[in-house]
């Protein structure tokens, strides 16, 4: 929408504040959140949330990034990007959101996969519940995997 520079974000914020003050400004999709521009935008309060890709980064690096943001004086919220990892990524985002005060929303691409089953994740009244089961509470249909997907495996030994 705008180039990633502070002056353009100031203009974007002015426009937003004048015409649609309840609209959030979010950036960082597909990035790891460590680029200098995001920290400058957070410091100046020019983005409401940052949207790094948790699954691209890895859970630990994402946790460290969020901890660093929480330890700062910035009011930036966290809205993890999740598209390519759709089914598993959404479940990971839900688990993350349950443990993080700064969490604002889980991006749900609404893609579904017949290979995975996670019946404990129920969407109700605009929210997903957080399962009590360990891990991501997702199982793989082994019979379907063997029948349809295994032929596409690449095994490196």
d(CA 138, CA 112): 13
pLDDT for 53: 82
Quickly list H helices, 27-124: 36-43, 54-57, 59-71, 86-98
Tally Cβ neighbours within 10 Å of residue 71.
8
Tally Cβ neighbours within 10 Å of residue 104.
17
pLDDT for 45: 95
Contact 112, 123 (CB under 8 A): no
Contact 13, 4 (CB under 8 A): no
Ranges of residues in the chain whose predicted pLDDT is under 70: 1, 30, 84
What's the DSSP call for residue 34? -
List of domains in the chain? 6-110 (3.20.20.120)
Q: What is the pTM of this model?
A: 0.80
Tally of residues, the chain? 157
pLDDT for 35: 78
């Amino acid at each position: 929408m705008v180039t990633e520079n502070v002056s353009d974000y100031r203009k974007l914020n002015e426009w937003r504040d004048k015409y649609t003050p309840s609209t959030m400004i979010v950036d960082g999709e597909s990035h790891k959140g460590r680029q200098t521009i995001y920290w400058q935008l957070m410091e100046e309060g020019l983005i409401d949330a940052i949207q790094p890709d948790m699954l691209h980064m890895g859970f630990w690096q994402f946790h460290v990034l969020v901890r660093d943001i929480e330890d700062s004086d910035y009011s930036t919220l966290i809205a993890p990007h999740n598209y390519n990892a759709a089914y598993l990524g959404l479940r990971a985002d839900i688990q993350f959101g349950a443990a993080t005060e700064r969490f604002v929303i889980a991006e749900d691409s609404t893609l579904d996969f017949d290979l995975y089953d996670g019946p404990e994740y129920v969407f109700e009244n605009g929210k997903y519940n957080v399962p009590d089961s360990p891990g991501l509470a997702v199982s793989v249909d082994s019979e379907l995997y063997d029948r349809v997907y295994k032929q596409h495996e690449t095994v490196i030994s």
